[in-house]
């Protein structure tokens, strides 16, 4: 077994592709190792988690026995089918990884791995060593006809189907075999009772899965200059979508660090209300109206789960719409690059974050403008929600970045309360829906006055993240994007320049400076936030600085992984940090690419909120 440091030197966050079936996802490293996989759902316990410790946490490796072979990964065009390739003086070999897309609620996830020799002759080694329940349960392997079973007390029994001869050692199934040019074998990993976990049928799975993804990608309306990156972002977002519930996970992984060796390690396998408007906006303007509708319906169900009490609306929910996400640490795991603690669940679900009403109302407004009209019952829920915002907008909260210190009066929270009321009033007029006009108008005006009077620092010449404060926050970049302030207003432009001076590192934008942010009571620093970096580019373009925006956008595209994926953050060398792939990062890319392409083409961007 390799130790943690050697595993992570070999398998960095960015050296992974992701496959999935709209129920769960698996990460595949460039050396052919699946080292992150939760089964049967994305938010279920892991069975492979070597990425967060050593190989004792579970892994599935399949690779040639070649020294010094060149490793490459690529997605088959317009799909989420991943190929890992090895090029050696002795030949060329490849492993094709896919997960057949779930077709019903009863479909169990399974991984199909097809290995073949393109040139020469090659000897392969396979090790499949699951570790149930985040490696907390003792897993044992045993041979059965056509493969091996992996059993642990109180856990689902898993199966590896193989045409190769297997051996077992503890929790691992092992095999070595040789293939010549043109030969192939396949391996299928899933649950014991699934009759589709059988070797020798990968061709049919491959064709069906290929057809699904290429057909889905072809529905995109985007024909701009960054089509490949936008399509890859859309495919990454689709992987994070639940076919059963319509929810979208914030990321496919948990506890990958925002700074190596630090404690900023969070579980993002849940769905955030905050991402609602970004999701609806991105999907609908690319032409994916069904995904936008499904997500909007899921959000509506979450609202109903709050028992029509807006003050009980949570910032995030489980993927099935469940309310509780208790946080715990897995002290038996060392963490990626020894970054501990390893956390599952997320106690931030209990926080008060007033901005979620703005993001939710923006999503409702966009859905009505470009999709389905709101129902009578839905509008009654909106009225209750906006009345709640009118009564509570002036309260401190945890803010967009889910600060774990004392609540503060954050500009972004004020801004999104303004958005909530503004979009509700617009929707009322557009659909001729009844509203308490005077009350809402007065609250919207009061919020606007509060922001201009109490969050503008005349001495520093820019808006600040907190009331009467001095620090900056990249969430301020949303001010012109949500139409609160003109993108060319001198006071906003001075704020944009201040963000560049204080939070930018060669176009990579940090969320804030932890040392200047008392509400951030965690240790250490963090990387640049990918979504904020794309917001910055869009703000430049809206301010008329299109050439500068174009250059910064191309830089950000260069920070994607070789497969075009983004995690949550970037270190100073542009390498990914945090959970991968991150939905908000890809949502922001789509928005920026859409707007910037139209500016560069001399066309006025459409889809204005």
Q: Is the pLDDT of residue 135 over 60?
A: yes
pLDDT band at 258 (very low <50, low <70, confident <90, very high): very high
Q: What is the pLDDT of residue 1?
A: 33
Q: Is the pLDDT of residue 149 over 60?
A: yes
Residues 392-422: tens digit of each pLDDT? 999 999 999 988 889 999 999 999 999 999 9
Residue 606 lies in a domain: no
Residues 559-575: tens digit of each pLDDT? 999 999 999 999 999 99
Where helices occur in 76-201 by DSSP H, the ranges are 132-135
Q: Are residues 130 and 262 in the same domain?
A: no
**b/e map 74-113, b = 16+ CB within 10 Å:** ebbebbbbbbbbbbbebbbbbbbbbbbbbeeeebbbbbbb
pLDDT band at 296 (very low <50, low <70, confident <90, very high): confident
pLDDT band at 608 (very low <50, low <70, confident <90, very high): very low
Q: Are residues 236 and 198 in the same domain?
A: no
Q: What is the pLDDT of residue 6?
A: 38
Q: Are residues 365 and 499 in the same domain?
A: yes
Q: Are residues 205 and 280 in the same domain?
A: no
Burial-class residue 572 by CB neighbours within 10 Å (0-12, 13-18, 19+). exposed
Burial-class residue 238 by CB neighbours within 10 Å (0-12, 13-18, 19+). buried
Q: Are residues 590 and 534 in the same domain?
A: yes
- CB-CB contact of 191 with 157 (8 Å): yes
- What is each CA distance from 278 to 332, 359, 448, in whole angstroms? 37, 8, 23
Interatomic CA distance for residues 290 and 468, integer angstroms: 44
Where helices occur in 371-477 by DSSP H, the ranges are 376-392, 411-431, 437-454
pLDDT band at 605 (very low <50, low <70, confident <90, very high): low
Residue 118 lies in a domain: yes
Structural domain of 28: 4-216
Residues 339-397: tens digit of each pLDDT? 999 999 999 998 999 999 999 999 999 888 887 889 898 899 899 999 999 999 999 99
Q: Is the pLDDT of residue 97 over 80?
A: yes
Q: 10 Å Cβ neighbour count for 571?
A: 19
Percentage of the chain modeled with pLDDT above 70: 96
Interatomic CA distance for residues 463 and 442, integer angstroms: 23
Q: Are residues 208 and 240 in the same domain?
A: no
- CB-CB contact of 229 with 557 (8 Å): yes
Q: Are residues 168 and 255 in the same domain?
A: no
Helix (H, G, I), strand (E, B) or coil at 232: helix
Q: 10 Å Cβ neighbour count for 260?
A: 16
Q: Are residues 128 and 249 in the same domain?
A: no
**b/e map 200-220, b = 16+ CB within 10 Å:** eebeebbeebbebbeebbeeb
Q: What is the pLDDT of residue 514?
A: 84
Q: Is the pLDDT of residue 247 over 50?
A: yes
358 preceded by a cis bond (ω within 30 of 0): no
Residue 117 lies in a domain: yes
Q: What is the pTM of this model?
A: 0.94
Strand segments, DSSP code E, in 89-201 are 91-98, 111-129, 140-144, 147-151, 158-162, 167-169, 172-180, 184-191
Q: Is the pLDDT of residue 7 over 50?
A: no
Q: What is the pLDDT of residue 521?
A: 67
Residues 425-476: tens digit of each pLDDT? 999 999 999 999 999 999 999 999 999 999 999 999 999 999 999 999 999 9
Q: Are residues 234 and 192 in the same domain?
A: no
Residues 51-69: tens digit of each pLDDT? 999 999 999 999 999 988 9
Q: Any residues with CB less than 8 A from the CB of 380 and at least 6 apart, and which?
A: none
Look at residues 168, 196, 216 and tell me which one is the last residue of a structural domain.
216
Residue 448 lies in a domain: yes
- CB-CB contact of 379 with 365 (8 Å): no
- CB-CB contact of 250 with 318 (8 Å): no
- CB-CB contact of 83 with 70 (8 Å): no
H and E: helices and strands count for the chain: 15, 26
Output the six-digit token pair for 385.
């929600």
- CB-CB contact of 152 with 138 (8 Å): yes
Q: Are residues 192 and 280 in the same domain?
A: no
Q: Are residues 359 and 239 in the same domain?
A: yes
Would strands 569-570 and 528-529 be described as parallel, antiparallel, or unpaired?
antiparallel
- CB-CB contact of 148 with 160 (8 Å): yes
Lowest-confidence segment of 99-113, 187-201, 240-254, 279-293 by average pLDDT: 99-113
Look at residues 216, 240, 255 and tell me which one is the last residue of a structural domain.
216
Q: Are residues 225 and 212 in the same domain?
A: no
Q: What is the pLDDT of residue 105?
A: 62
Determine the Cα angle at 236 with ends 238 and 239, to 5°: 40
Mean pLDDT computed over 260-289: 90
Q: Any residues with CB less than 8 A from the CB of 539 and at least 6 apart, and which?
A: 477, 480, 481, 487, 496
For residue 130, give the CATH number of its domain: 2.70.98
For residue 542, give the CATH number of its domain: 1.50.10.10
Percentage of the chain modeled with pLDDT above 90: 80
Look at residues 216, 239, 268 and tell me which one is the last residue of a structural domain.
216
Residue 534 lies in a domain: yes
Q: What is the pLDDT of residue 10?
A: 56
Q: Is the pLDDT of residue 592 over 80?
A: yes
Q: Any residues with CB less than 8 A from the CB of 33 and at least 6 apart, and which?
A: 11, 50, 59, 60, 61, 62, 63
- CB-CB contact of 63 with 75 (8 Å): no
Interatomic CA distance for residues 44 and 206, integer angstroms: 26
**b/e map 29-68, b = 16+ CB within 10 Å:** bbbbbbbbbbbbbbbbbbbbbbbbbbbbbbbbbbbbebee
Position with higher pLDDT, 26 vs 263: 26
Residue 155 lies in a domain: yes
Number of domains in the chain: 2
Output the six-digit token pair for 303.
């609202």
Q: What is the mean pLDDT of the chain?
A: 92
Helix (H, G, I), strand (E, B) or coil at 58: coil
pLDDT band at 515 (very low <50, low <70, confident <90, very high): confident
Mean pLDDT computed over 528-533: 97
Q: What is the pLDDT of residue 603?
A: 60
Residue 609 lies in a domain: no
Q: What is the pLDDT of residue 523?
A: 76
Strand segments, DSSP code E, in 219-268 are none
Residue 608 lies in a domain: no
Interatomic CA distance for residues 193 and 365, integer angstroms: 45
- What is each CA distance from 208 to 111, 239, 399, in whole angstroms? 14, 16, 44
Distance of CA 20 to the CA centre of its chain: 13
Question: What is the 8-class DSSP label of residue 507?
Answer: T
């Amino acid at each position: 077994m390799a130790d943690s440091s050697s595993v992570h030197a070999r398998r960095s966050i960015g050296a992974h592709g992701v496959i999935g079936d709209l129920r769960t996802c698996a990460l595949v490293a460039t050396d052919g190792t699946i080292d992150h996989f939760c089964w049967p759902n994305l938010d279920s316990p892991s069975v492979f988690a070597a990425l967060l410790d050593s190989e004792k946490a579970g892994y599935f490796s399949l690779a040639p026995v070649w020294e010094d072979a060149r490793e490459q990964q690529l997605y088959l065009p317009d799909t989420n089918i991943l190929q890992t390739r090895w090029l050696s003086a002795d030949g060329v070999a490849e492993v094709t990884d896919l997960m057949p897309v779930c077709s019903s609620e009863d479909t169990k996830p399974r991984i199909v791995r097809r290995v073949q020799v393109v040139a020469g002759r090659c000897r392969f080694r396979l090790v499949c060593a699951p570790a149930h329940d985040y490696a907390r349960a003792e897993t044992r392997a045993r041979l059965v006809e056509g493969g091996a079973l992996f059993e642990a007390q109180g856990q689902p029994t898993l199966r590896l189907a193989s045409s190769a001869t297997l051996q077992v050692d503890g929790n691992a199934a092992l095999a070595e075999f040789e293939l010549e040019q043109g030969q192939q074998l396949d391996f299928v990993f899933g649950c014991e009772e699934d009759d589709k976990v059988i070797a020798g049928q990968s061709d049919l799975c491959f064709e069906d899965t290929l057809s699904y993804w290429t057909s889905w990608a072809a529905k995109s309306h985007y024909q701009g200059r960054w089509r490949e990156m936008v399509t890859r972002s859309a495919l990454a977002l689709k992987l994070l979508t639940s076919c059963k519930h319509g929810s979208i996970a914030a990321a496919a992984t948990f506890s990958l660090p925002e700074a190596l060796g630090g404690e900023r390690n969070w579980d993002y396998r849940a769905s955030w209300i905050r991402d609602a408007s970004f999701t609806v906006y991105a999907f609908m303007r690319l032409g994916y109206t069904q995904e936008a509708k499904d997500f909007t319906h899921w959000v509506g169900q979450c609202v109903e789960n709050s028992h029509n009490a807006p003050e009980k609306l949570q910032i995030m929910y489980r993927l099935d719409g469940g309310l509780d996400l208790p946080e715990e640490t897995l002290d038996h795991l060392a963490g990626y690059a020894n970054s501990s603690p390893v956390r599952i669940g997320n106690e931030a679900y209990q926080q008060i974050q007033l901005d979620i009403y703005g993001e939710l109302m923006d999503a409702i407004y966009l859905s009505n403008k470009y999709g389905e009209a709101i129902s009578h019952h839905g509008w009654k829920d909106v009225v209750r929600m906006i009345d709640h915002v009118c009564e509570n907008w002036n309260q401190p909260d945890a803010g967009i970045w889910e600060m774990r210190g004392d609540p503060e009066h954050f500009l972004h929270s004020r801004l999104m309360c303004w958005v909530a009321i503004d979009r509700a009033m617009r929707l009322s007029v557009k659909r001729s829906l009844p509203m308490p006009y005077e009350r809402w108008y007065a609250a919207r005006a009061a919020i606007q006055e509060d922001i201009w009077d109490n969050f503008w620092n005349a001495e520093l010449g820019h808006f600040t993240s907190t009331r009467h404060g001095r620090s900056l926050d990249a969430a301020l970049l949303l001010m012109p994007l949500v139409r609160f302030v003109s993108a060319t207003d001198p006071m906003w432009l001075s704020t944009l320049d201040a963000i560049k001076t204080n939070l930018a590192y060669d176009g990579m934008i940090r969320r804030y400076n932890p040392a200047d942010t008392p509400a951030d009571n965690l240790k250490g620093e963090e990387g640049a936030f990918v979504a904020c970096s794309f917001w910055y580019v869009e703000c430049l373009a809206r301010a008329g600085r299109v050439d500068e925006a174009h250059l910064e956008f191309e830089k950000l595209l260069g920070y994607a992984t070789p497969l075009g994926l983004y995690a949550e953050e970037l270190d100073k060398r542009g390498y990914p940090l945090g959970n991968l792939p991150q939905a908000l990062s890809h949502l922001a890319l789509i928005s920026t690419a859409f707007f910037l392409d139209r500016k560069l083409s001399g066309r006025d961007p459409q889809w204005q909120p």
